[in-house]
Structure 1
Amino acid sequence: NSSVSFHIVQVFSNSDEALINKKLPKELLLRIFSFLDVVTLCRCAQVSKAWNVLALDGSNWQKIDLFNFQTDIEGRVVENISKRCGGFLRQLSLRGCLSVGDASMKTFAQNCRNIEHLNLNGCTKITDSTCVSLSKFCSKLRHLDLTSCVSITNHALKALSEGCRMLENLNLSWCDQIMSDGIEALSRGCTSVKALFLRGCTQLDDTALKHLQKHCPELMIINMQSCTMTALWFVCLAASFIHIACVFLRILEAARCSHVTDAGFTVLARVTDNTLVQLSIHCPRLQALSLSHCELITDDGIRHLSSSVCGQDRLQVVELDNCPLITDITLEHLKSCQRLERIELYDCQQVTRAGIKRIRAHLPEIKVHAYFAPVTPPPSVHGGGQRLCRCCVIL
């Protein structure tokens, strides 16, 4: 505990002549101070002149989170910190610091050129000008959070794309002035982006995802919650899965995309065996795959998938409900997927109970969800002819 550490050493250090200052070399004291938080460092700086120098040494200020002081932090504080830390500072969180503006951030960018992680979440006075300063001075920036910086526009993204080409994680949630032109510029310049958060960016249109697919091959996470996008977004996503551009994609959140219609999912239903071939080649980390209502998928496509790296080592869930061309042969192929935990087979008319029992014998822990029509459908309870009654089976 840093507070306890402070009180312990304070007992032995009431002046520059204290025993601890005489016995311990400055290098060791600096090492001790490196474990202290911001508050404790500031307290140590008040103990003596010697400790003031040690506590305020830039090497102790590589990571700073000012969130707990957000009601007090003003621009001049950020400027003073930047002058003190200089090139030592790697991570800074100004989350919720409502008084920090562009002028202070320009001074910060000029002084702290090695900054890698910067959190400006909720800094509502920040505008494009800050991104221009970051672009000019902070080329090592990898993580940038601009959540709720509502004055940010396409101009900011164009600036970042020119000077911050190492960006890997960018949060633009609720920056509702961002449009697809800005995403295009960003994707062309920052090709190493792995995570992009676009929640509430309501002005984005269908072309934004096309640019990301084309220029950002390492993209792993996309969050588009509350983006009122059209069905074409899902068309683009379907295409992305069969290109190397999404080789690392693990998480996609599209909650509240209220404009997605049946047309988008109809396009997804055009997935074929070739899609599975591409998935087997380019998506070695795939863990769960839903092919519901993909009516062109056959046993051969599943064969390619099950024999791939992801099939052998990663695949845990396969949903094949309403795939009419799937037969028991698919289940034979899936036997090689040793990590498989669940298969959905609802309305797969060519899959039999015998086929399910065989895969259960090979993978005893697997859960298979299916239902079957009886050989002779029972008469209608109303006596008006016959109706098809399916029996649900969960094995």
Structure 2
Amino acid sequence: MYRDGVFGRVPAVPADFATLEARAKEVSTPRAWAYVAGGAGEGRTMRNNRAAFDRWAIVPRMAHGNTTRDLSLDLLGSRLPAPVLLAPVGAGALMGEDSDLKIARGAAANGIPYVFSNQGCNAMEDTAAEMGETPRWVQLYWSTDEGLVDSMLARAEAIGAGALVVTLDTTLLGWRPMDLNIGSLPFSQGLGIAQYTSDPRFAEIVRERIAAAAGAAKESTEVTLGAIKTLLAMTRNHPGAFLENLRSPVPRAAVETFLDIYSNPGLSWDHLATLRERTQLPVVLKGILHPHDAKRAFDSGVDAIVVSNHGGRQVDNAIASLDALVTIREAVGDDPTVLLDSGIRTGADVFTALALGANAVLLGRPHMYGLAIAGAQGVAEVVANVIAELDLTMALSGTADLASITRECVVPNPSA
């Protein structure tokens, strides 16, 4: 980056998070910004996530003699160059067309996994094609239709997913004022449902719904400019030719079907117990915040958990993910694989999370901001910056590898 500066070239994305966020907001629509940057309620959980990092301070050690660092690790059967994955973020096309394909390219450029969003804007098969040999994981929202769950599992296996990430904390959407104030739900316009419209079982459900409606009394629909715009958006976002979709009931039926069945409010440990009979993939449970839930997850045989409060988007004033990580690691011991999501912004944050017990972290909003600014290159640069800062933090703190990043590397911050 300094070498490029000699020739008058600057990075596509800013190197600090505050400027990155501000630049992304400048290039985003109000609807996109509300969905990606917004949180639940008064935003206290998002603030809790950042405050938790501020409560810890790194203690660098001197004269250690290390000249190289090894950031690599083995994670669920894959060797990764760094302890960073890209988190699933739904409706990414709000921030850039073909969002999942571009995120996949940005992840692959750094050799790190991308967790394909269940609410993605590109089918998982197309996204996998962008990853090459780079590991990819697949997120699952547990539908009320068990046949659809099985279909998603089969597709994840078919694209060579390295793990199945079952998100537990979004069986219902949280109270999100930034979206509510502008009446914006991307899925209602057919955005973020590509995993469904590309699924054979979902297509079957839609056909059944259309057939059942054919003999029913017609609903009267209020015709407004907004309703027309929504219909056009559904038509445009649905696979296939625009004019053909415009004459078809399928795009609208697909959206209505998705909204009815995408997530199961009754999801229970009994549902999760069936996974071992239904897939050979390593199972990761995302959204764990309580140590009892963490212990139950590992007792049930899952391969890993993600300590996450969904980036502060589900419950207002929930515990910070980093605080939950500390208590969960103490409860489950050193051996289980525990990842951290929510609040990670910098390489120093990654270092702190590893010191407090995470095996690796998931990066969410930062890579979406990179996408908004510069597409796949923006994603790649955001990831590279985080990894580079982690490497420098390790170098300046005297840790030669990830195993050297221990609880002794951080202390409670006396100035927090």
TM-score bin, normalised by smaller chain? under 0.3
TM-score (norm 2): 0.25
Q: TM-score, normalised by structure 1?
A: 0.26
More helix by percentage: 2
